[in-house]
Amino acid sequence: MTLDGRVAVVTGGSRGIGRGIAEALLADGANVVINGRSEAKGKEALGELGAGDRALFVAGDIRVQSDVEGLVDAAITRYGRVDILVNNAGGSDGFALVHELSDEAWNNALNWNINAVFWATRRALPSMLERSWGRIINISSVEGKQGNKAAISHYITNKHALNGFTKAVAFEYGTSGITSNAICPGAIETDMMKELGPVAAASAGITYEDFLQTYAQESAIKRLNTVEEVSAVARLLASNVGGGITGALLNVDGGTAAW
Protein backbone atom coordinates (compact mmCIF):
# COMPACT_ATOMS: atom_id res chain seq x y z
CA MET A 1 0.00 0.00 0.00
CA THR A 2 3.04 2.28 0.09
CA LEU A 3 2.85 5.45 -2.00
CA ASP A 4 6.42 6.66 -1.47
CA GLY A 5 7.35 9.10 -4.23
CA ARG A 6 3.82 9.35 -5.60
CA VAL A 7 2.14 12.74 -6.05
CA ALA A 8 -1.56 13.16 -5.32
CA VAL A 9 -3.92 16.03 -6.05
CA VAL A 10 -7.09 16.23 -3.94
CA THR A 11 -9.74 18.81 -4.79
CA GLY A 12 -11.58 20.20 -1.80
CA GLY A 13 -8.91 18.74 0.42
CA SER A 14 -8.87 21.24 3.28
CA ARG A 15 -11.81 19.66 5.10
CA GLY A 16 -14.36 16.86 5.06
CA ILE A 17 -13.89 13.78 2.91
CA GLY A 18 -11.09 15.36 0.90
CA ARG A 19 -9.16 16.19 4.05
CA GLY A 20 -9.53 12.62 5.30
CA ILE A 21 -8.25 11.22 2.01
CA ALA A 22 -5.33 13.68 1.98
CA GLU A 23 -4.34 12.53 5.46
CA ALA A 24 -4.54 8.88 4.43
CA LEU A 25 -2.40 9.39 1.32
CA LEU A 26 0.18 11.35 3.29
CA ALA A 27 0.31 8.53 5.84
CA ASP A 28 1.04 6.11 3.00
CA GLY A 29 3.97 8.23 1.83
CA ALA A 30 2.58 10.37 -0.97
CA ASN A 31 3.20 14.05 -1.55
CA VAL A 32 -0.23 15.70 -1.54
CA VAL A 33 -1.57 18.89 -3.10
CA ILE A 34 -4.92 20.02 -1.75
CA ASN A 35 -7.18 22.83 -2.87
CA GLY A 36 -10.04 24.89 -1.52
CA ARG A 37 -11.58 28.30 -1.93
CA SER A 38 -10.38 29.73 1.39
CA GLU A 39 -6.70 30.63 1.70
CA ALA A 40 -7.09 30.84 5.48
CA LYS A 41 -8.64 27.37 5.78
CA GLY A 42 -5.97 26.01 3.48
CA LYS A 43 -3.14 27.36 5.60
CA GLU A 44 -4.86 26.03 8.71
CA ALA A 45 -5.18 22.60 7.10
CA LEU A 46 -1.50 22.53 6.15
CA GLY A 47 -0.56 23.35 9.72
CA GLU A 48 -2.75 20.57 11.06
CA LEU A 49 -1.45 18.06 8.50
CA GLY A 50 2.09 18.80 9.63
CA ALA A 51 3.62 17.25 6.52
CA GLY A 52 6.10 20.03 5.75
CA ASP A 53 7.32 20.03 2.16
CA ARG A 54 5.24 16.95 1.37
CA ALA A 55 2.01 18.98 1.33
CA LEU A 56 0.94 22.03 -0.68
CA PHE A 57 -2.25 24.08 -0.67
CA VAL A 58 -3.44 25.88 -3.79
CA ALA A 59 -6.38 28.25 -3.42
CA GLY A 60 -9.01 28.12 -6.14
CA ASP A 61 -12.63 27.48 -7.09
CA ILE A 62 -13.06 24.21 -8.95
CA ARG A 63 -16.06 25.66 -10.74
CA VAL A 64 -13.58 27.84 -12.66
CA GLN A 65 -11.65 26.04 -15.39
CA SER A 66 -8.45 28.06 -15.02
CA ASP A 67 -8.37 27.38 -11.28
CA VAL A 68 -8.70 23.63 -11.82
CA GLU A 69 -6.04 23.50 -14.48
CA GLY A 70 -3.80 25.74 -12.37
CA LEU A 71 -4.11 23.28 -9.48
CA VAL A 72 -2.79 20.39 -11.56
CA ASP A 73 -0.07 22.59 -13.03
CA ALA A 74 1.01 23.68 -9.53
CA ALA A 75 1.43 20.05 -8.50
CA ILE A 76 3.60 19.35 -11.54
CA THR A 77 5.66 22.49 -10.94
CA ARG A 78 6.23 21.59 -7.28
CA TYR A 79 6.69 17.82 -7.50
CA GLY A 80 7.28 17.13 -11.21
CA ARG A 81 4.29 14.88 -11.80
CA VAL A 82 0.76 13.85 -10.90
CA ASP A 83 0.16 10.18 -10.15
CA ILE A 84 -3.10 10.25 -8.21
CA LEU A 85 -6.05 12.55 -8.83
CA VAL A 86 -8.88 12.60 -6.31
CA ASN A 87 -11.83 14.55 -7.69
CA ASN A 88 -13.47 15.06 -4.34
CA ALA A 89 -14.98 18.54 -4.37
CA GLY A 90 -18.60 18.77 -5.44
CA GLY A 91 -22.05 19.79 -4.37
CA SER A 92 -25.09 21.80 -5.33
CA ASP A 93 -27.23 24.69 -4.12
CA GLY A 94 -30.45 26.43 -5.07
CA PHE A 95 -32.42 23.35 -4.02
CA ALA A 96 -35.91 23.18 -5.52
CA LEU A 97 -38.33 20.89 -7.30
CA VAL A 98 -37.62 20.59 -11.02
CA HIS A 99 -40.34 23.02 -12.11
CA GLU A 100 -38.84 25.66 -9.80
CA LEU A 101 -35.14 24.86 -10.24
CA SER A 102 -33.20 27.81 -11.62
CA ASP A 103 -30.79 27.83 -14.54
CA GLU A 104 -28.17 29.22 -12.18
CA ALA A 105 -28.46 26.28 -9.77
CA TRP A 106 -28.45 23.75 -12.62
CA ASN A 107 -25.38 25.22 -14.33
CA ASN A 108 -23.55 25.73 -11.05
CA ALA A 109 -24.01 22.04 -10.25
CA LEU A 110 -22.65 21.05 -13.65
CA ASN A 111 -19.48 23.07 -13.11
CA TRP A 112 -19.13 21.87 -9.53
CA ASN A 113 -19.57 18.14 -10.14
CA ILE A 114 -18.94 17.36 -13.79
CA ASN A 115 -16.99 20.06 -15.60
CA ALA A 116 -14.46 20.35 -12.78
CA VAL A 117 -13.82 16.60 -12.90
CA PHE A 118 -13.39 16.71 -16.67
CA TRP A 119 -11.02 19.69 -16.53
CA ALA A 120 -8.87 18.14 -13.79
CA THR A 121 -8.78 14.69 -15.37
CA ARG A 122 -7.90 15.99 -18.81
CA ARG A 123 -5.10 18.10 -17.34
CA ALA A 124 -3.64 15.29 -15.22
CA LEU A 125 -3.78 12.47 -17.77
CA PRO A 126 -0.70 13.48 -19.83
CA SER A 127 1.50 13.27 -16.72
CA MET A 128 0.09 9.84 -15.93
CA LEU A 129 0.52 8.66 -19.51
CA GLU A 130 4.21 9.65 -19.45
CA ARG A 131 4.81 7.06 -16.73
CA SER A 132 2.15 4.51 -17.69
CA TRP A 133 0.76 4.74 -14.15
CA GLY A 134 -2.12 6.69 -12.72
CA ARG A 135 -5.03 6.56 -10.32
CA ILE A 136 -8.17 8.63 -10.80
CA ILE A 137 -10.60 8.49 -7.89
CA ASN A 138 -13.91 10.32 -8.21
CA ILE A 139 -16.05 10.94 -5.16
CA SER A 140 -19.57 10.32 -6.35
CA SER A 141 -22.54 9.61 -4.06
CA VAL A 142 -25.20 7.10 -3.19
CA GLU A 143 -27.41 9.55 -5.10
CA GLY A 144 -25.54 8.51 -8.23
CA LYS A 145 -27.29 5.15 -7.93
CA GLN A 146 -30.81 6.24 -7.04
CA GLY A 147 -33.23 9.12 -7.42
CA ASN A 148 -35.54 9.10 -4.43
CA LYS A 149 -35.18 12.51 -2.79
CA ALA A 150 -36.96 15.73 -3.64
CA ALA A 151 -35.36 19.08 -4.52
CA ILE A 152 -31.92 17.69 -5.42
CA SER A 153 -32.49 16.59 -9.02
CA HIS A 154 -29.45 18.54 -10.22
CA TYR A 155 -27.21 16.76 -7.71
CA ILE A 156 -28.70 13.35 -8.53
CA THR A 157 -28.24 13.95 -12.27
CA ASN A 158 -24.66 15.09 -11.87
CA LYS A 159 -23.62 12.11 -9.76
CA HIS A 160 -25.13 9.70 -12.27
CA ALA A 161 -23.15 11.48 -14.98
CA LEU A 162 -19.98 11.30 -12.90
CA ASN A 163 -20.36 7.55 -12.65
CA GLY A 164 -20.63 7.34 -16.43
CA PHE A 165 -17.54 9.50 -16.93
CA THR A 166 -15.64 7.28 -14.50
CA LYS A 167 -16.38 4.22 -16.59
CA ALA A 168 -15.56 5.99 -19.87
CA VAL A 169 -12.12 7.01 -18.59
CA ALA A 170 -11.50 3.49 -17.28
CA PHE A 171 -12.25 2.06 -20.72
CA GLU A 172 -10.07 4.53 -22.62
CA TYR A 173 -6.98 4.22 -20.41
CA GLY A 174 -7.18 0.68 -19.05
CA THR A 175 -4.20 -0.51 -21.09
CA SER A 176 -2.09 2.50 -20.09
CA GLY A 177 -1.65 1.60 -16.43
CA ILE A 178 -4.28 4.16 -15.40
CA THR A 179 -7.32 3.23 -13.34
CA SER A 180 -10.51 5.23 -12.92
CA ASN A 181 -12.97 4.49 -10.13
CA ALA A 182 -15.73 6.20 -8.21
CA ILE A 183 -16.53 5.93 -4.53
CA CYS A 184 -20.24 6.36 -3.77
CA PRO A 185 -20.59 7.39 -0.12
CA GLY A 186 -23.78 7.58 1.83
CA ALA A 187 -24.49 10.67 3.88
CA ILE A 188 -21.60 11.92 6.01
CA GLU A 189 -22.05 14.91 8.28
CA THR A 190 -19.13 16.97 7.04
CA ASP A 191 -18.83 20.75 7.33
CA MET A 192 -20.43 21.08 3.90
CA MET A 193 -23.34 18.88 4.93
CA LYS A 194 -23.87 21.09 7.96
CA GLU A 195 -23.90 24.15 5.71
CA LEU A 196 -26.03 22.92 2.81
CA GLY A 197 -28.04 20.08 4.40
CA PRO A 198 -30.48 22.34 6.27
CA VAL A 199 -31.23 24.23 3.05
CA ALA A 200 -31.83 21.01 1.11
CA ALA A 201 -34.01 19.70 3.93
CA ALA A 202 -36.11 22.87 4.03
CA SER A 203 -36.61 22.69 0.26
CA ALA A 204 -37.90 19.14 0.69
CA GLY A 205 -40.21 20.23 3.51
CA ILE A 206 -38.46 18.36 6.30
CA THR A 207 -36.13 19.22 9.17
CA TYR A 208 -32.37 18.78 8.92
CA GLU A 209 -32.52 16.06 11.59
CA ASP A 210 -35.16 14.19 9.57
CA PHE A 211 -33.02 14.68 6.46
CA LEU A 212 -30.08 12.93 8.13
CA GLN A 213 -32.29 10.23 9.60
CA THR A 214 -33.68 9.47 6.16
CA TYR A 215 -30.20 8.50 5.04
CA ALA A 216 -29.52 6.53 8.20
CA GLN A 217 -32.76 4.58 8.05
CA GLU A 218 -32.32 3.77 4.35
CA SER A 219 -29.08 1.98 5.15
CA ALA A 220 -28.51 -1.50 6.51
CA ILE A 221 -26.30 -0.16 9.30
CA LYS A 222 -28.89 2.47 10.40
CA ARG A 223 -26.32 5.21 10.80
CA LEU A 224 -24.41 7.72 8.71
CA ASN A 225 -21.08 6.78 7.20
CA THR A 226 -17.76 8.30 8.23
CA VAL A 227 -14.89 10.05 6.50
CA GLU A 228 -12.53 7.30 7.64
CA GLU A 229 -14.60 4.63 5.89
CA VAL A 230 -14.31 6.49 2.59
CA SER A 231 -10.61 7.20 3.08
CA ALA A 232 -9.89 3.50 3.58
CA VAL A 233 -11.30 2.67 0.15
CA ALA A 234 -9.42 5.57 -1.45
CA ARG A 235 -6.15 4.20 -0.01
CA LEU A 236 -6.75 0.88 -1.71
CA LEU A 237 -7.66 2.44 -5.05
CA ALA A 238 -4.57 4.69 -4.97
CA SER A 239 -2.16 1.83 -4.28
CA ASN A 240 -0.24 -0.55 -6.50
CA VAL A 241 -2.39 -3.45 -5.33
CA GLY A 242 -5.45 -1.49 -6.46
CA GLY A 243 -4.32 -1.69 -10.06
CA GLY A 244 -6.79 -4.43 -10.94
CA ILE A 245 -9.77 -2.33 -9.91
CA THR A 246 -11.04 0.04 -12.57
CA GLY A 247 -14.40 1.22 -13.84
CA ALA A 248 -15.83 0.34 -10.44
CA LEU A 249 -18.51 2.29 -8.58
CA LEU A 250 -17.73 1.31 -5.02
CA ASN A 251 -20.43 1.85 -2.41
CA VAL A 252 -19.52 3.14 1.04
CA ASP A 253 -23.15 3.72 1.94
CA GLY A 254 -23.89 1.24 4.68
CA GLY A 255 -25.84 -0.99 2.31
CA THR A 256 -28.22 1.66 0.95
CA ALA A 257 -27.97 1.42 -2.84
CA ALA A 258 -29.68 -1.49 -4.56
CA TRP A 259 -26.62 -2.06 -6.80
Compute φ and ψ for 228, nearest 5 degrees: -60, -35
- Which among 187, 221, 32, 11 is positioned nearest to 112, based on CA atoms? 11
Task: For residue 79, indicate whether it is catalytic.
Answer: no
Tell me which of 79, 155, 173, 215 is the catalytic residue. 155
Question: What type of residue is 230?
Answer: V
Active centre residues (catalytic): 155
